[in-house]
Structure formats: structure tokens, C-alpha cells
A and B are shown apart, each in its own frame.
Chain A
Amino acid sequence: MNIVACVKRVPSTEASAEISADGKGLDPKNFQYIVSFYDDVAVEQAVQTKAQLGGEVTVLTLGSADGSKEIRECLARGADKAVVMVDEHWADRDCRATAKILAAKIQELGADLVTMGKVATDRDNAAVGPMTATYLGYACVTNVVGLELTEQGGTAKRETEAGIETVEFSLPAVITCDKGLVELRRPGLKDIMAAKKKPTEEVPFENVENQAQVVQANLPAPRKEGRIVGEGPDAVPALIEALRNEANVL
């Protein structure tokens, strides 16, 4: 099976935000970067599917020229090779442009199965997976927490507010992966050394202009200063009083 795992480089979840000088973006100067958490799950799922059904795992990213550390981590997880579309605008691509660029490359690679994280933890749109699938005409299941696959298709469990849904689908398909789908294994020294020898190919892509335009970016207004109503269980009446008569939520 030809499996493509799409990954994105994002600021670490410990990062705090500062607005850039033009007021329209985030200042990256204090950012440390990681592979988006759910994309790690997507790579792990791809590697485990290969172990079960055979084939090859390609890591695909539209990303920064400085992303080689993150790519090597994906290769150490067990992917066979990486295809990188170096994009100077990678941090500001909107979901439609990203999906169209990825779809064109996935078409070229001829993937049977595409895995992605359910959301990238920077712009939080959770849109690139289902949009890419729609542009490709592939089946798509999002927020997957359980997966059984054959050569032709599969059954996925997905998490919703109403409960766990069971979805049957045909291949080719895009699966977006949720936490808990597979256990993340920590790559060993041998895996890390092996990753250095695996091929990473930089490839060109056809540009797609953004439709989203940023008017402005702001830090959220700070919350009104709160207060400590007291210590221990004796403070409960004061809390109840505040919730009923100040906040009007009880």
C-alpha cells in the first residue's frame, strides 16, 4: 500500500503569542517548533499500517526550509522517505491553498491511503484533511480513534459529541487521526541513526494564492481581575453568593 503521511511544523504548545510588527501575524522570534502533535499520530498510524499491509510510507510536508529536524523525527518513527515542498509562505498559507497544493502532490504520488493529524495546533482549522480529500475525490474520515484496514477499504471509529461513530469507507482515502488512535512509540537510537540515511527529496509545487486575508491580529483582551474568595470549605458560601448574585450563573 502506498501511504502518504502529511505533517506540519508548528510552534510548541508551550509557546506564548506575540503579534508581529505589521499587526497581521504572529512574531516567530520566540517560537520553538515541533511536529504538530496529531501529525505524529498520523505518521505512527502510517507506519503501523505498512507493518500490517506492506508498502511504503512517504512523509509529505509543505513547510519551512528549516524543518529538517522535524522531518528526521518522522523518518525515525519509521517512515521510508520524505517529500518536502519548501515554501517561504508556509506559516501563512490558508487551508484551501494548502489543501490544493497537497492534493496535487498526492495525486502525483498516487497514494492509496493518506494520514494527517485531525488538526494542526497552530491555526486550528482542522480543514486541510477533508478539503484535500474533496479536491482529490477520495473518501475521508476525520477525528479517527480506531481503524481497521484492508487493501480495498476499512472501518473507522470517530469521536463526536453524540458518541463514537462507525464509518465504512473505500480506498483511496484520507484519514485524520485523533489522540489514542495508536500508541506513540519513542524512536530508539538505531531508528534515529537510520533516519539520517533515508532520502528526503525537495520538490517544486505550483503556487495557489490565499483567499483568506488577515485584517488584524490581536492578543485576547485580558480577563477582568478576579479574587480569592477564601480558604478551604468555609469559603464555599462566599463562592455561591458570588456565582448567584455577581456572575448570575447559578
Chain B
Amino acid sequence: MSNFVVFVEQVGGKLRQSGLECLGAAAQAGATPIAALAGDGAADAAAALNAQGVQTAVCFDGPGTQSPDALAAGLAEVVKAKGAQGFLAAASAHGRDLAPRVAAHLDAVLFADITGLESAGSGYQVTRPWLAGKAIATLTSSADVLCATTRLNVFPTLPGSGTPSVETQTLSDAGKARITGVESKAAAKLDVSEASVVVSGGRGLKEAEGFGIIEELASAFGDAAVGASRAVVDLGWRPHSEQVGQTGKTVSPKLYIAVGISGAIQHLAGMKTSGTIVAINKDADAPIFKVADYGIVGDAFEVVPALTRAVAEIKAQS
């Protein structure tokens, strides 16, 4: 059975969901995952790991954990030392920054943002989007180590039992680039790429202030993030970090609600793989309705507040 080294993100001892999905992706493909964690709290997070098949965790400490180049070099050494056939990280900002560097250290190609991973012949094959999901490619790698990042919200987390044995490694090299600070978002604010519910707004909201009704709906869900179309980001109504689409983020939440978004092809490419899609638009012919599971034709300023009240009522009961 082959080993995969899986980089699992943690913040202050708390495991990120995306890392658990990544372990799930490895286990589902029949590999034994070796978890790799870094930074303050890594040992606590590793002790809390309860994911299928994880018997070993490697925790990095030392100044190099604050440097993507030093950490990537350390991860590549673990892959080599363990004779791993794969290296996985989540397709988060951190994972997509680290994984290509690890791949280069291993002189292996990287498959970013994969949505499928399975064993095939003596190796593995992946599926991943091209043109932000306008096409889907199935690929294999002739490299010794399969390197990939897994799209958020796609792979299952597989709970297991037992506590992994933890090895600790110190990265004493401070690296060429060092993270010196993080300006945290408000604790409650989820990123559009990792939220399980996304409420997005477009030009149909008429002005920047129109997003008030979007924010209210998102907060009624509790676990929702606010998204935006390219048009409103270009108009300066919303920050680029919220942009969904081909020149923004590709998202796959359980529920995607598009309000006042007509559905340009580059936007559809970024959200078409969402679990359930709801569209609210006053134009019954808007292309967004072609990908929506449920649509309401109407004025966003009338429909959305009514929806917010209904959602808030349900959440209050549960």
C-alpha cells in the first residue's frame, strides 16, 4: 500500500476542514495518509486528528514554518524520507502556494484544484477543471510522486479512530521569504471558497449599498460567505477577494444563491459545480436560470428580505 504525505492546515491547534478533506481524498484513493502540520499549535492539532488511516503525523516547528520556501523544502524531504507516492495539500491560498514548490523540489508536475483522485494501473489519475470548469480533464503523471491540491468542499472527510504517532522536525532555516503578520478577517467572516453557503450579488443590486440585503441573507444562514460578480468588483462595489468566476474564485458550496447576476459564461464557470443553485433575477431570460435548480423571477429588494426572514425563522428553530 502506498503512502501519501498530506499537508493539513491548522490555526492555533484547530484543524482546517480543507485539510481533513485532503486526508479523505488520499484515503479514498487507497493510500495511507501521513499528515504533515506546521507552526504553533501543530502538535495539539495532530493529537486531535481523527481521520481514517492516519497513523503518522509529522509536525514542523522552528522559524522555517513561517517561510513558504523553507516549509516546502521540509515537506519535500518528508516525502522522500517516507518514500511517499503522493503529496497532497488543499487548494487554499496556503496550499496552492506551497504545493508547487514541493513539486518542484521533487521535480514533479503539479495538478492544482483537483476534483477527483483514484488509483489507475500502477499509479493514480486525477480529474481537474480547465478554463475554470468549462472543460474537465482526466490526467496521469509520469513523475515518481503524484503532487496535487484538492478543491475545497469536494472530497469527503473520513472519520477514524485512534491517535497518530507524532514526529517533530525543526526547520531552523528561516527561508528567503517570511510571513511577518496576518491581518485577520473578522472571526465570523468566511472566505467565499471555503463556505458551505455562498450568497452572491451582481449588478441587479443597483449600487454598492444594495449589498446590504446580501449580507443580511448571508448572516441569516450563519455559515455563509458573500460573493460578487466581476461586474460589481470592477465597479468597485465589492473587493476582489469576493469575486466568483474565471478571473476570481471557483467555488463549490453546498448552496449557491445568485442575486441580480445575469450569468456571464465566465461567472458560470466559477460556480457551476455547486451542490444546489438558486437564482433570483428580474429578467426571466437571464442565462443564470439555465444552471439554477430553483429560480425566482422578481425584484431582489422584495424577494431577498422575504427569504432572509424565512431562513432566520428556520435557523431560530433548529
Contacts and interface: CB of A to CB of B under 8 A. Distances in A.
Contact of B176 (A14, A170, A212, A243): A170
A236 B101 contact: no
B294 A227 contact: yes
B314 A218 contact: no
A13 B247 contact: yes
Main secondary structure, interface of B, reads: mixed
Contacts of B305: 233
A17 B129 CA distance: 11
A158 B110 contact: no
Interface string B289-318: 101111111110011011100110010000
Interface centre among B69, B100, B255, B297 (most CB of A within 10 A): B100
Contact of B296 (A97, A130, A161, A232): A232
A240 B310 contact: yes
Interface string B102-131: 011101111111000000000001000111
A68 B193 CA distance: 36
Interface-central residue, B92, B111, B131, B141, by most chain A CB under 10 Å: B131
Interface residues of A, number: 86
Contacts of B246: 13, 121
Contacts of B103: 96, 127, 131
Contact of B177 (A162, A169, A228): A169
Interface stretch (B46-54, B200-208, B273-281): B273-281
B183 interface: yes
B142 A211 contact: yes
Interface string A99-127: 10000000000000000000001111111
**List of 5 A-B pairs having minimum Cβ-Cβ separation, nearest first:** A134-B104, A139-B176, A127-B100, A169-B177, A161-B191
19 contacts: A95-B100, A121-B131, A130-B68, A139-B177, A159-B93, A162-B182, A167-B178, A167-B179, A216-B137, A220-B133, A220-B135, A220-B273, A227-B293, A228-B284, A232-B297, A232-B302, A233-B303, A233-B306, A249-B275
Given A17-B134, A215-B139, 20 more contacts: A15-B131, A15-B134, A96-B143, A125-B100, A128-B100, A131-B103, A142-B96, A159-B93, A161-B193, A162-B11, A163-B185, A179-B233, A212-B140, A213-B141, A220-B133, A228-B294, A230-B297, A235-B303, A239-B294, A242-B294
